[in-house]
Structure 1
Amino acid sequence: MSVVRYLDTSSQTPPQTFLASLWGGFLGLLIFVPLLVINVFQMLSTLLIPISPSVFRKTNRFIANYYWGFLVLIFEKVNKIRVDITGDEIPPQENAVVDCNHQNIADIPILMVLAWRKDRLGDLKFFVKDVIKYVPGPGWGMIFLDCIFVKRNWLSDKEKIDATFHKFKVNKTPLWIVSFLEGTRITASKLEKSQAFMKRKGLPITQHVMAPRTKGFIASVNSMRKELDAVYNVTIYYPEGIPSLWQLLKGDCKTIRMHVKRTAIDRVPEPEAELEQWVIDAYVEKDKLLGNLKKANPLEPDSSEEHSPPIKVRS
């Protein structure tokens, strides 16, 4: 069984650790305190709903786009985190379902780097745990962006998901629907349980990703098929080890690799059994890619990489 490797900063001297913590604390306040102010503006934006629901949605997209753009600037330009993107070319402003392997909460701001490049930053719609909506700041903000809150029980979640998708269709909402199909962040113990599950079900046993939960993905793709342009299978790899959000804030993580495979929606299978197998095959492919990345020199750049352009936040 593969060992899940986290970013190790134990080699830092006490002064380095202290200064990094001060820096991380400063950026944390700079990032998280304004969220409460943003929540106030989002609440005030509800006054626009009776006048123009369209203006209400555009206002909250504008807020998300600029705030998340600020996060991208902090991580890429201030903390100088290099995000190297390989794989298929992604056209800007597509509607897509985005499936990504899930290693830590750090995955979310890294996905924002990709969304910023493709002019979909304010249009991210995350599948998130229901309890998050009660958290001031990020949770409250996601409510106004029509993120999809789920309780991990498909029967109880389905009605809410269908209602949200109906809203997207009626309003012709531009979107990237982001889903972490593993359902939770990977750990060594969770991976071991997932491998036991895969063995019982006769599935290919993966070493670097867990078995995908396919029901929500199948429902998302088939329900929104007419509104989608593509499905993106995103694989994130941390050469230095998986960082926490705190380590991203401190600037401990310096290099991240992201591989994107784009499949046009008309090439994504529609029958449920075929689509489920398509997802399983995609995770076997993710597993092989991560295995190859771990075997290779992790910090050596690839000639096909797409490097970070200058930051310019879009409205």
Structure 2
Amino acid sequence: MLADTSNQTFLLLMLNFLPSPILGVFSAVLLVLNVLVLGAMILLMALIKFFLPIVPVRRVIDPVLNGLGQAWVGNNSFWMALVQKTTWRVEGLDKLSIRGWYLVTSNHQSWVDILVLQRVFHRRIPFLKFFLKQQLIFVPVIGLVWWALDFPFMKRYSEAYLKKHPEKRGQDQATTRRACEKFSVVPTSVINFLEGTRFTKVKHDRQGSPFRYLLRPKAGGIALAINAMGEKFQSLLDVTVFYPDGAPSFWDLLSGRVRQVVVLVNEQPIPRELIQGDYSGDAEFRARMQAWVQDLWQAKDQQLAQLHQQYPAAKQTDYVGNQQKTAP
């Protein structure tokens, strides 16, 4: 799936003239091939790592797995370039390092967000990893792949459960911290979507969200991530993703209909007073964490409002479902 620059430019010009359905099928085929080929290689490495869980094997296998993860992102970026004629506005990447430790958070509107973020951060920061619920490790095949790629699995107890089992309080933090111990010497980027789900108008209205363009943020997950790795994270990358023509569907991406993407990255320190604390058991600490997250989200909502003003196509849009549709 590699080509020299001249051939890629030639293909790019050709493919942009093809009908959208043909582009969609072409992209889907490349995506499936990427999954099958690299997925099989990752799964093979995962099985070796699972059955030979010793340090010398990990030292050999882990760099290979990270390389396969980077190859996955690179291949996806390649077919996206072939079928899209997208204008990208990306800001805030200049001072980032592939050797750094970052906590990344972003607003979330579409499954396209994940591929956009992977493309933007490709080889600028370490391969993006998601905090996953611990139950997901038991998903057939893919759970093993996530485990092999060192995606951290979080164990969270509800407040109702902790009231019935107070002896479990603090164990979720200890479990997540142990899951992240491997990152103490390996540069790592971990992403957390504070909204917990994709934005839709229905969800927005159901929540009674105080924000115009965002759902209410959930502070519990990011609190657990900071508690587990706060001493290692050198900064927070607060990302705003904006689509001037409306949040695209995954088919829009496959079929070459994403014309503009804006990604603004704001690097900022994680407050020292939030690195250690019991989010579930300490009401004062919980209030401080929630206030910090609310401030992040208030600033992001204002930034999105400014972007709607800057892009005329976005000014007259109404949010409908997971799409922004131009008002009549």
Q: TM-score, normalised by structure 1?
A: 0.76
Partners in 1 of 2:40 and 2:149 — Cα distance? 14
- Unmatched tracts of structure 1, length 5 or more: 1-15, 199-204, 301-315
In structure 1, the partner of 2:118 is 112
Q: 1:85 to 1:299 in 2, by over 3 A?
A: farther
Partners in 2 of 1:76 and 1:164 — Cα distance? 36
Cα deviation, 1:250-275, whole Å, max 9, x if unaligned, reads: 00011100111111346674463333
Larger RCO of the pair (alpha carbons < 8 Å, separation 6+): 1
In structure 1, the partner of 2:305 is 291
Identity among equivalent positions (%) equals: 26
The structure that has the greater radius of gyration is 2
Deviation at 1:81, TM superposition (A): 2.3
Secondary structure of the structure 2 residue equivalent to 1:85: strand
Deviation at 1:165, TM superposition (A): 1.5
Deviation at 1:128, TM superposition (A): 4.4
Paired residues of 1:124 and 1:175 also in contact (CA < 8 A): yes
- Unmatched tracts of structure 2, length 5 or more: 1-15, 163-170, 278-284, 315-328
In structure 1, the partner of 2:200 is 187
Match of 1:73 among 60, 78, 81: 78
Q: TM-score, normalised by structure 2?
A: 0.73
Letter in 2 for 1:24: G
Secondary structure of the structure 2 residue equivalent to 1:232: strand
Match of 1:246 among 243, 251, 274: 251
Q: Over aligned residue pairs, what C-alpha RMSD do you find?
A: 3.0
Letter in 2 for 1:44: L
Paired residues of 1:24 and 1:246 also in contact (CA < 8 A): yes
5 Å-filtered alignment, 1:1-315, equals: 19-45=19-45, 46-47=47-48, 49-50=53-54, 51-76=56-81, 78-87=83-92, 89-93=94-98, 94-116=100-122, 118-120=124-126, 123-128=127-132, 134=139, 141-149=145-153, 160-169=175-184, 172-195=185-208, 205-265=210-270, 269-270=274-275, 272=285, 273-298=287-312
Partners in 2 of 1:244 and 1:82 — Cα distance? 17
In structure 1, the partner of 2:5 is none
Paired residues of 1:133 and 1:149 also in contact (CA < 8 A): no
Paired residues of 1:42 and 1:60 also in contact (CA < 8 A): yes
Q: 1:243 to 1:139 in 2, by over 3 A?
A: farther
Q: 1:298 to 1:262 in 2, by over 3 A?
A: farther
Deviation at 1:143, TM superposition (A): 3.3
Partners in 2 of 1:39 and 1:180 — Cα distance? 24
